[in-house]
């Protein structure tokens, strides 16, 4: 079938594009390349239709989703910290952009829209694991925007019959996750520093915990959400159902990279939650999905990817 991936040049989006092509689908990719990059699509470039545009441009979205059966909406300005600094920019891309995706999809007769939401919508609740029945309690503009996107999905399903599925990603990691952004995720940052023999920085005391999920497992859940019969109208958690402290994570990456130095500490970021752990019972039940990649295996895959990239650069230079 013909499908569209917004944010398809990004980290999760490009892995999703690879999977959809492998499954035999015709894929349209929408990305403005503000945070994504064409290098992520190098192996897919001659097999996709690529539209470089901003999801705030409704007319271009109408063009992109025409004839598509499913839209996988991955485009966003990510990171809690960015939303604290630039709340209006994040709102316009994440919320207005999502509304545009829903409007364009409805007008084009798209069957289903699967959107990337976030575990940040739960806020800093003490109850663990976080279940989809819990009320949302956003602590940042980013989280508030994702909660709004979920509400728009619910409204479009109820009002117009457009099938929608919202997936609350916990901490996704894997190859192609860039350490270069000011708002880079912790695993690529730690790995880059340790491979270079530099001390990584832990924000806070390091005892905060996260539920890390390998990107291939996340993509599998996303793809299943595009066809699962009982998925429309639902919100589901995408996590491993296990948590690790940031201090323990740093130790695991040190073991994988051979780093023997110390770590640095800086104050925790505003808006960050203390503990995070996904309940994935609904996801298992509705999608028949189970995470397959352990953290140690996932870190090994990233390390192999980074070393292969470095070897390629050395050959070119």
Both tokens of residue 135?
């009320």
pTM, whole model, 2 decimals? 0.94
**273 vs 246: which has the higher pLDDT:** 246
* Placement of tokens 């924000």 in the chain: 203
Round to whole Å and give the CA distance between 30 and 11: 14
pLDDT recorded at residue 223: 98
Residue 173 falls in the annotated catalytic set: no
pLDDT in tens, 262-282: 899 999 887 778 899 999 999
pLDDT recorded at residue 306: 87
Q: How far is CA 126 from the centre of its chain?
A: 24
Average pLDDT, rounded, for the chain:
94
pLDDT band for position 137 (cuts 50, 70, 90): very high
Calculate mean pLDDT across residues 86-103: 97
pLDDT recorded at residue 123: 92
The SS3 assignment for 179 reads coil
φ, ψ for residue 272, nearest 5 deg: -70, 145
pLDDT band for position 79 (cuts 50, 70, 90): confident
Predicted confidence (pLDDT) at residue 314 exceeds the cutoff of 60: no
pLDDT in tens, 172-188: 999 999 887 665 689 99
Burial grade of 269 (CB within 10 A; 0-12, 13-18, 19 or more): middle
pLDDT in tens, 15-70: 999 999 999 999 999 999 999 999 999 999 999 999 999 999 999 999 999 999 99
Q: How far is CA 216 from the centre of its chain?
A: 11
pLDDT band for position 312 (cuts 50, 70, 90): low
Domain range list for the chain: 2-170+215-239+280-292
Calculate mean pLDDT across residues 111-128: 94
pLDDT band for position 254 (cuts 50, 70, 90): very high
pLDDT band for position 288 (cuts 50, 70, 90): very high
Both tokens of residue 53?
């545009």
DSSP structure class, residue 278: B
Burial grade of 284 (CB within 10 A; 0-12, 13-18, 19 or more): middle
Burial grade of 204 (CB within 10 A; 0-12, 13-18, 19 or more): middle
pLDDT in tens, 37-49: 999 999 999 999 9
Q: Catalytic pick from 142, 152, 169, 173?
A: 142
pLDDT recorded at residue 179: 83
Round to whole Å and give the CA distance between 82 and 94: 12
Q: What is the third-level CATH fold of 2-170+215-239+280-292?
A: Rossmann fold (3.40.50)
CA proximity to 272, closest of 80, 121, 128: 80
pLDDT recorded at residue 214: 97
Predicted confidence (pLDDT) at residue 87 exceeds the cutoff of 80: yes
Round to whole Å and give the CA distance between 99 and 215: 26
pLDDT recorded at residue 93: 96
pLDDT in tens, 210-233: 999 999 999 999 999 999 999 999
């Amino acid at each position: 079938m013909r499908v569209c991936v917004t944010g398809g040049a990004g980290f999760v989006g490009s892995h999703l594009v690879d999977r959809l092509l492998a499954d035999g689908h015709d894929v349209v990719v929408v990305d403005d390349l503000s945070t994504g990059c064409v290098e992520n699509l190098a192996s897919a470039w001659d097999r996709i239709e690529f539209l470089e545009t901003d999801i705030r441009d409704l007319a271009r979205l109408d063009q992109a989703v025409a004839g598509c059966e499913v839209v996988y909406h991955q485009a966003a300005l990510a990171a809690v910290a960015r939303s604290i600094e630039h709340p209006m920019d994040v709102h316009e891309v994440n919320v207005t952009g999502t509304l545009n995706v829903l409007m364009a999809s409805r007008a084009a007769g798209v069957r289903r829209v699967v959107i990337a939401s976030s575990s940040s919508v739960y806020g800093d609740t003490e109850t663990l694991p976080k279940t989809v029945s819990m009320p949302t309690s956003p602590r940042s503009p980013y989280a508030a925007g994702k909660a709004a996107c979920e509400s728009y999905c619910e409204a479009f399903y109820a009002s117009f019959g457009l099938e929608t599925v919202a997936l609350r990603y916990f901490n996704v990691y894997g190859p192609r996750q860039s350490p270069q952004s000011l708002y880079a995720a912790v695993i690529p940052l730690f790995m880059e520093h340790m491979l270079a023999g530099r001390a990584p920085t832990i924000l806070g005391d390091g005892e905060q915990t996260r539920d890390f999920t390998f990107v291939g497992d996340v993509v599998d859940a996303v793809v299943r959400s595009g066809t699962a019969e009982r998925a429309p109208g639902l919100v589901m958690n995408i996590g491993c159902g296990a948590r690790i402290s940031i201090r323990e994570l740093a130790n695991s990456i040190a073991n994988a990279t051979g780093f023997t130095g110390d770590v640095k500490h800086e104050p925790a970021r505003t808006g960050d939650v203390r503990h995070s752990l996904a309940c994935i019972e609904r996801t298992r039940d509705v999608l028949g999905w189970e995470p397959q990649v352990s953290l140690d295996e996932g870190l090994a895959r990233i390390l192999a990817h980074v070393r292969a990239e470095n070897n390629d650069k050395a050959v070119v230079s």
